[in-house]
Structure 1
Amino acid sequence: MPQPAIQSPEWWRDRLYDALCKRTAATNVFDDYYECEHRLPHLHERAREPFKRLLRMSRANYCELVVDAFVGRLEVAGFQPDAEGGSDDEAWSLWQDNNLDGGSQLAFLEAAIRGNAYLMVEPDRGGFRITPEHPTQVIVVYRPDAPGVPAAALKLWLDDWTARLCCTVYLPDRIYKFDAPEPKTGGKPVWGRRQVAGEEWGGRNVLGEVPFGELANRPRMLKPGASELRSVIGIQDRINKTIADRMMTQEAAAFPGKWATGLEIPVDENGQEIEPFDVAVNKILIAEDPGAKFGQFTAADLTGYLKAKEADVHDIAAITSTPPHYLLGSMVNLSAEALKAAEAGLIHKIYQRRRFLEEGLERTMRLAGIASSQARIVWKSPEWRTEGELVDALVKMSSLGVPREVLWERWGATPQEIERWRLMNEEALTRAMDDDLAAGYGPKPDPVDPTVEEVGQ
């Protein structure tokens, strides 16, 4: 079968489809670990089946905590059009109309788990529709001679109504649609042109650009975004193994075994020994033989397992900058300063990750017609403080002459709230001045100097 011409729609389709499948296979493991579908701890084959129930119970999902601690503090508060403050009502209306308060959180979560996610921009009834796109369904590639400039994109999905695999290739100038029967496992799809009623195949891309903003989590030069769980999976497996070993030890030796000597063991009519005692907490062991002795073995010590697990959890906290008390659930007499110090690494990581997420968000808004060169995204503060601490800090900043609008922003108000409060202050000041004038407290006319003769006299 002849190969399609380089940079033809078919060439881009095949190239991007292969890249998407490869990336999906590589990142599925991160999704499994977030969903607590961990690999079962290793055991000898003979022991694996009898202890399978315990192995399933041994999965303690720290991966979910690592991701949620990070994503839970990523929240867009609004948009500012320029350095002078105010709010970008057009951008915020577009954001709200497309339900991106929740949609952006979905995209941030997938980016943290799999390394990247996407926002797609489409013209819609005179406006724009923005939708979060899953990284197993969308891939964007960039020009090799101009990093950061999208060259093409592919969106792939399975239409379960028709059992057909569908894809769309997006180029800066054209859009090409294909479909194929759902391929067998491991098989390659046999693509054909997908005709849509009322549309020309290979229609014009009215945006003039690849219509995706990529939300990349901790990308590197010449490398795409990476999962927050990339360095955690091995430690998670160690924790699961430790828990499995502890549970098997509990099953076999956590309760002290009893022993007896100097007894004649009775047998049944078949010659099988009969257990002479029914041991329970409310029963006493009695033997008539004066030489009988009773005792019990020492119960297994589980301290080593508990310490090993705690050490592995501390490794996760150190590697991912997740506060240890999030993972260990222990907060004993921690001062506000100690809590802030424990969260400093997480806060720094959030500020670092947001820089790259902003690039994708800003590109998305530009594609949707919000093209102010000075526009910036306003995030909610990732730092958690008590109301008293925050107010005290703002009062001290006010005494240094910091503008009121800046204090409101530091308090956590959105640009829309700051603009509304500013207008309310101006209206209150205008009413106060009008009331003063009405009461006679306003400025008085200058008095007439009697020594100055009137003009014309």
Structure 2
Amino acid sequence: MAETSVSPVDLAAIGFDRLRGDRERLDRIDRYFRGDHDGPYVPKSATDEYKLLAKRAITNWLPLLVKAPSQAMAVDGFRRSTDPAGEGTDDVPAEWRAWQDQRMDSRQTPIHRAALTYGQSFATVLKDPADPSRPVIRGVSPRLIHASYDDPAADALPLWALQVEGLPEKEGAEVRAWLYDATNVHELLVGGKDGPRLIGTTPHGQGVCPVVRFAPDIDLEGRVTGVVEPMLPIQDRVNQTVFDLLISQTFGSFKVRTISGLAPEFRRDPETGEILLDSNGRPVPIPIQADASRFLVAPDPDTKFNQLDETPLGGFLEAIELATKHLAALSQTPPHYLLGSMINLSAEALAAAESALSRAVDEYKHSMGESWELVLSLCAQIMGVEPDPRAEVLWKDAESRSLSQTVDALGKAVQMLQVPARAMWPRIPGVTARDVEEWTQMQEADDPGLRMADAMAAVVAPPAPVVADAA
């Protein structure tokens, strides 16, 4: 029996069980990302000082591995293959107006970072209850939603999806949940001893499950891989090496002076001159004052002074640097992001150092760009606009390039290859889609030739046909 023919209560039970099955793995990724690591190995007999050093040894590199690609990914525009449809006084597509209305310029970042952290994230697109023609976009963490696909590697939209308000901490506690299918949104209570309970059902009127998945790295079996999970063993190695470094730095990074053949002096009673004894009947020795400001002198000629050299720390530092380089190589993060070793790099050298990251970001954009186009297509459907299957989102250019060299190359493309100048405007670093729109309006307002062309077009245009009144 297909899952779509099962009742909402049964689907909710299936989805909730699968969420709980993935919780341990996703919670571990979440803990490590927030800096709550398992910690380095310490002996059972370790003192409080050792345990304090173990806490201080946690060096969390994982957020940087996620932020590096996510900071280079920002949807900056939307382009339809046909003229934009929908009401409005400008030429901005209706989907892009919905994007701006939902403040997605800033709210897209958490969706990207969750997808990179866990391997996937989700967004729901539903009608605003107060205004059915207004779409509402909400990002959802994969820790709180399970989506079921007929073909998880190829299907754009799931058959159904279960979103929970939060997983219960106690067995038998109920939490709110929403089950999305092709026609309705079912509100339920899940987690109880008697199974899910249906509260209500509301049609969403979109004809498809309104849940879109963002999976930057997915294989042909539908398995997703994030940036964080493969790096956990190396992160543990870094923490262990830092802990060993702190131990050596605290207890062995200084020289130790030794004395052999010295008969100790004992405390004596100032009145009688007798040697004082402790509670066990043993003489009380006088401590030897040995520091950098004192000379060591012994009356016994057989006394020998020596010193133990400090533990060299260079090996620990090299091991930390090597593990950090492994993190950079396996995650395609530029090494100077982690090591800070960047001295007088030219624009070309900087671009070469970031080439691996640029390739990874370009791959992520291909995958998540399709997801955003699907989100905006659902928005168009809610707004009563015919979705454009060939529309595409435009990503902001965040690559490190010299502005002067970029502008020079664009100028040569215009002069030598006869590329229209306007086509080069979006390729200038830092220029947004809004800037291009304003420049277009300014050029049309300031160029008499363009105004004359518009006037001539109006003159030679055929008159509008007159429709006779049916009355």
Q: TM (normalized to structure 1)? A: 0.84
Residue 456 (structure 2) aligns with: none
**Whole-angstrom CA distance in 1 between matches of 2:97 and 2:4:** 43
**Whole-angstrom CA distance in 2 between matches of 1:48 and 1:409:** 61
DSSP 3-state at the match of 1:150: coil
Shift of 1:303: 1.4
Change (3 A) 1:365 1:419: same
**Residue 408 (structure 1) aligned to one of 422, 425, 434:** 425
- Alignment pair present for 1:90 and 2:94: yes
**Whole-angstrom CA distance in 2 between matches of 1:202 and 1:72:** 39
How high is the sequence identity, in percent, across the aligned residues?
26
Deviations 1:350-380 (A, max 9, x none): 0001111112211111111161223210001
- Alignment pair present for 1:153 and 2:152: no
**Whole-angstrom CA distance in 2 between matches of 1:17 and 1:433:** 63
**Whole-angstrom CA distance in 2 between matches of 1:347 and 1:205:** 39
Change (3 A) 1:242 1:153: same
- Alignment pair present for 1:13 and 2:12: yes
Residue 330 (structure 2) aligns with: 319
- Alignment pair present for 1:107 and 2:119: no
Aligned length: 418
> What letter corresponds to residue 304 of structure 1 in structure 2?
G
**Whole-angstrom CA distance in 1 between matches of 2:424 and 2:284:** 83
Q: Residue 182 of structure 2 contacts residue 209 of structure 2 at CA under 8 Å; is this kept in 1? A: yes
Q: Residue 81 of structure 1 contacts residue 88 of structure 1 at CA under 8 Å; is this kept in 2? A: no
Q: Residue 188 of structure 2 contacts residue 196 of structure 2 at CA under 8 Å; is this kept in 1? A: yes
**Whole-angstrom CA distance in 1 between matches of 2:230 and 2:283:** 56
Equivalence map 1:223-302=2 (5 Å)? 223-268=222-267, 269-270=277-278, 271=282, 274=285, 276-302=287-313
Residue 40 (structure 1) aligns with: 39
**Whole-angstrom CA distance in 2 between matches of 1:296 and 1:88:** 78
DSSP 3-state at the match of 1:407: helix
**Whole-angstrom CA distance in 2 between matches of 1:383 and 1:21:** 40
**Whole-angstrom CA distance in 1 between matches of 2:432 and 2:401:** 17
Q: Residue 139 of structure 1 contacts residue 153 of structure 1 at CA under 8 Å; is this kept in 2? A: yes
Residue 176 (structure 1) aligns with: 186
Q: Residue 80 of structure 1 contacts residue 87 of structure 1 at CA under 8 Å; is this kept in 2? A: no
Shift of 1:388: 2.5
- Alignment pair present for 1:51 and 2:50: yes
> What letter corresponds to residue 162 of structure 2 in structure 1?
L
- Alignment pair present for 1:392 and 2:432: no
Aligned alpha-carbon RMSD (Å): 2.7
**Whole-angstrom CA distance in 2 between matches of 1:378 and 1:234:** 36
> What letter corresponds to residue 120 of structure 2 in structure 1?
N
**Residue 125 (structure 2) aligned to one of 94, 117, 121:** 121
Shift of 1:189: 6.6
**Whole-angstrom CA distance in 2 between matches of 1:159 and 1:35:** 19
Change (3 A) 1:416 1:432: closer
> What letter corresponds to residue 363 of structure 2 in structure 1?
Q
Deviates more, 1:233-242 or 1:278-287: 278-287
**Whole-angstrom CA distance in 2 between matches of 1:433 and 1:14:** 65
Shift of 1:76: 0.8
Shift of 1:43: 2.5
Q: Residue 347 of structure 2 contacts residue 402 of structure 2 at CA under 8 Å; is this kept in 1? A: no
Q: Residue 9 of structure 2 contacts residue 196 of structure 2 at CA under 8 Å; is this kept in 1? A: no
Shift of 1:159: 10
**Whole-angstrom CA distance in 1 between matches of 2:334 and 2:117:** 19
**Whole-angstrom CA distance in 1 between matches of 2:185 and 2:83:** 40
Residue 462 (structure 2) aligns with: none
**Whole-angstrom CA distance in 2 between matches of 1:259 and 1:191:** 73
Q: Residue 78 of structure 1 contacts residue 379 of structure 1 at CA under 8 Å; is this kept in 2? A: yes
DSSP 3-state at the match of 2:25: helix
Deviations 1:288-344 (A, max 9, x none): 444433232111011111111111111111111111111111113433322211110
Shift of 1:207: 1.5
Q: Residue 80 of structure 1 contacts residue 88 of structure 1 at CA under 8 Å; is this kept in 2? A: no
Q: Any runs of at least 4 consecutive aligned residues in structure 1 with deviations exceeding 6 A, and if so which?
A: 83-87, 431-434
Q: Residue 159 of structure 1 contacts residue 166 of structure 1 at CA under 8 Å; is this kept in 2? A: no
**Whole-angstrom CA distance in 1 between matches of 2:11 and 2:286:** 75
Change (3 A) 1:433 1:376: closer
**Whole-angstrom CA distance in 2 between matches of 1:233 and 1:433:** 62
Deviates more, 1:260-269 or 1:163-172: 260-269
Deviations 1:212-268 (A, max 9, x none): 111112111122322112221111111111111111112221111111233221345
Q: TM (normalized to structure 2)? A: 0.82
**Whole-angstrom CA distance in 2 between matches of 1:342 and 1:40:** 32
Residue 441 (structure 2) aligns with: 423
Residue 130 (structure 1) aligns with: 137
- Alignment pair present for 1:343 and 2:354: yes
**Whole-angstrom CA distance in 2 between matches of 1:273 and 1:361:** 80
> What letter corresponds to residue 232 of structure 1 in structure 2?
M
Q: Residue 95 of structure 2 contacts residue 379 of structure 2 at CA under 8 Å; is this kept in 1? A: no
Shift of 1:5: 10
Change (3 A) 1:431 1:28: same
Runs of 5+ unmatched residues, structure 2: 85-89, 268-276, 453-471
Q: Residue 120 of structure 1 contacts residue 212 of structure 1 at CA under 8 Å; is this kept in 2? A: yes
Residue 448 (structure 1) aligns with: none
Q: Residue 243 of structure 1 contacts residue 305 of structure 1 at CA under 8 Å; is this kept in 2? A: yes
**Whole-angstrom CA distance in 1 between matches of 2:350 and 2:263:** 64
> What letter corresponds to residue 365 of structure 1 in structure 2?
L
Deviations 1:147-201 (A, max 9, x none): 33421011101499xx850111111022221115x66xxxx5743222xxxxxx3
**Whole-angstrom CA distance in 1 between matches of 2:184 and 2:82:** 37
Q: Residue 87 of structure 1 contacts residue 415 of structure 1 at CA under 8 Å; is this kept in 2? A: no
**Whole-angstrom CA distance in 2 between matches of 1:90 and 1:416:** 15
**Whole-angstrom CA distance in 1 between matches of 2:264 and 2:422:** 88
Equivalence map 1:137-216=2 (5 Å)? 137-144=144-151, 147-158=155-166, 164-180=174-190, 190-194=195-199, 201-216=200-215
Change (3 A) 1:300 1:159: closer
Deviates more, 1:7-16 or 1:23-32: 23-32
> What letter corresponds to residue 295 of structure 1 in structure 2?
N
